[in-house]
Structures are given as structure tokens and as C-alpha cells.
Amino acid sequence: MSGAILAIETSCDDSCAAVVDASGLILSNVIASQSIHDKYGGVVPEIAARHHLHLLTPTIDAALSDAGLTLDLIERVAVTQGPGLIGALLVGVAQAKAIAAARGVPLVAVDHLQGHVAANFLGPDPFEPPFVCLIASGGHTLLARVEEQSSYTVLGETLDDAAGEAFDKGARMLGLPFPGGPALEALAGDGDPEAFDFPTARNVKGFDFSFAGVKTSLLYAIADLGEAESQLRRADLAASYQKAIVDALIDRLDRALSASGLGRVAIGGGVAANGPLRQRVSELGAETHIPAMKLCTDNAAMIAGAARFLPDCSTEAALALDAYPSGSKR
């Protein structure tokens, strides 16, 4: 039980708390999802922040009780500092700081994307660096080279929409409810992925991504077909659109793997749930690691997982810690 870390994650619309021990074993991993945003067709920052304030305390209590621990046995507190929705982040940061200060235990500030990468280091089956890592979700698209557990090198990022955002926006155009990823994948299962030729932004330099073009192409395709015909061909549109997004992800991942010569790949983020993406990753000929889905989507265990390899804040820095909405850790 030594070195137990309590981690808190509130960067978007899930209130998360987890306890992980020093060896990376997950003792608890509690996620309170805010389904209220579905009716708005996307996450509303002010509403997310209000709900975090309601949900976080019982979520932390549940994480402690699931782990069979009290705060007396927590040796470090970790929290997502950014990037994310600033009002949402600040709820977690304020609460984590207060717990750490009042208990007199060190605070660890964790970058959310470092957390996604660190989901791979959690027990019982950790994946050791070096590897190439793709994180794709509604909020981020990151291709990184991971050489050590405490950091990563950015190879590519999206220039506009995140991959999961592209899924959600396409789903909305096809009349599917939010969040659209799973619904679009289900609809695509009945369609022909070769029916339409949507762009994958291959002209974007390096390993960066762009999903604005594929989104616009879908919009035009629907308009060109007309309402009746596009309704009839929804499954083909969904399948072709999904293929374009997956192609774009696999193209960069494949090139990054070749360029790095590492032969090892991990994926994470909510888009890692996508069946065709998982299939295509498994065909890359690399040693592949995909954490359990509950560790791919936003969660606090991954934040604790990252904290294991990060230094404590100084006492002064812990008291003064502020959240950051974008960019990387300051």
C-alpha cells in the first residue's frame, strides 16, 4: 500500500478520481460522466464546471472507499493542470490543492496528454518505452514519440479539429445523436467505405493532422446528393467518412513508426474504441498496446500513472498552482 497516489481529473465533462499505488497498480478508478451535455449537442463549459463541483467530492470519496483507503494513507495528490476547459480544470485543481495542503502531502501537477500517454504504464500489464503513441479523442489528436516515462516528444498534432470532434461533427451532419463516434461507427458497419472519396489531408506537412477538409467534403457530399438520396446513402457516407479519418490517423502513425524505427505503438483517447482503427493498427506490423477502454478515455488513474514519474511541486508552487486551458505545462 506504500506510495498511494490520489489523482483527480476534471479537464472536460467527466469528474474522475482514482487511487494508484507506487507500483502502478490501480486500486480504484471512478468516473462520474455528465450525460447532461448530450442534449446540448456538445460539452457546455459552464455546465461542465457546475457539475464537477457537485460530483467531485463524492467521486473522490468513492475512489478512496473503492481502494479501501482513507486520506490518512494517501502519500501524494495528483491533479490534471491542463489543457482542457479552464472552469472545469479549476474545480479539480482547487480541490486537489486544498486536500494536499490540509493533509500536508505533496502535490503533483500533471499534463492531461502526459496522462493519456501514461495510461500505458499502469499495471498489471505495463507497456515500457520507447514507443510511438497516438492519442485521439474529442479534445485532442497527438502523435508522440515516447522515450521515457516522464515525458514525450510531439511528432504531430491537429491543425484544426480533433479526430473525435471530426467523428462527432460528421455524426451530427448525418443526423446522429451526440456523442457521435459510436453511432457513426455502427451506421458505417452497413455501408461501403469506398463509396465516396473523402480527403485525408496528405498534403499537410510532417506528421500533423487536419480534419476540417473531410468535414467540409461530407457537408458538400450531403448537399450534392440532396436530402432524399443522402438519407438513402447514410451508411455509405458514414463508412467513407470513417475510413477517411482512420486513413489519416494510420497514414501518420505508419510513417512515424517507419521514421522512428521503434516498431512499437500504443494508442489512446476515446477514438481508440473505434473498431476499424484498432484493426488497422493491428495490421501495422508493430508491437501494439491498447490500454483497457476505461483507461483510454478520460480518467484519473492515468493521471496518477503519470504522477508516478513526475516530481512533486514545491510547497509554494503547490499552494499557488493555477490551471492552464491550452498548450503544455509551464
* Pairing between β-strand 264-268 and β-strand 131-136 as defined by DSSP bridges: parallel
CB-nearer residue toward other proteins: 58 or 68: 58
CB-nearer residue toward Zn ion: 260 or 297: 297
- Give the residue at shortest CB distance from Zn ion: 298
CB-nearer residue toward other proteins: 70 or 203: 70
Applying CB under 5 A, which of residues 133, 298, 303, 307 lies at the interface with Zn ion? 298
Stretch that binds Zn ion, among 136-144, 152-160, 196-204, 273-281 (CB under 5 A): 136-144
| Block residue for cell numbers 485543481 | 93
Least distance (Å) between residue 301 CB and Zn ion = 13
**CA angle in degrees (0–180, nearest 5) for 133-216-158:** 25
- Among other proteins, Zn ion, none, partner that 235 touches (CB below 5 to 8 angstroms by kind): none
- Among other proteins, Zn ion, none, partner that 103 touches (CB below 5 to 8 angstroms by kind): other proteins
Side chain identity at residue 79, one-letter code: V
Which residue in 18, 42, 19 sits closest to 32, CA to CA?
A: 18
CB-nearer residue toward Zn ion: 74 or 306: 306
- Among Zn ion, other proteins, none, partner that 248 touches (CB below 5 to 8 angstroms by kind): none
User: 8 near 321, Cβ under 8 Å?
Assistant: no
User: 27 near 67, Cβ under 8 Å?
Assistant: yes
C-alpha cell at 265: 505503438
Omega within 30 of 0 (cis) for the link into 130: yes
Query: How does DSSP classify residue 262?
Result: -
- Residue ranges that bind other proteins, judged by CB under 8 A: 39-40, 44, 46-47, 49-50, 53-54, 56-58, 60-61, 71, 86-87, 90-99, 101-103, 316, 319-323
- Cα distance between residue 138 and residue 117, in whole Å: 16
Least distance (Å) between residue 325 CB and Zn ion = 14
Least distance (Å) between residue 91 CB and other proteins = 5
- Among Zn ion, other proteins, none, partner that 298 touches (CB below 5 to 8 angstroms by kind): Zn ion
Side chain identity at residue 255, one-letter code: R
CB-nearer residue toward Zn ion: 163 or 246: 163
User: 318 near 81, Cβ under 8 Å?
Assistant: no
**CA angle in degrees (0–180, nearest 5) for 320-321-322:** 115
CB-nearer residue toward other proteins: 97 or 234: 97
Residues in touch with Zn ion (CB under 5 A): 137, 298
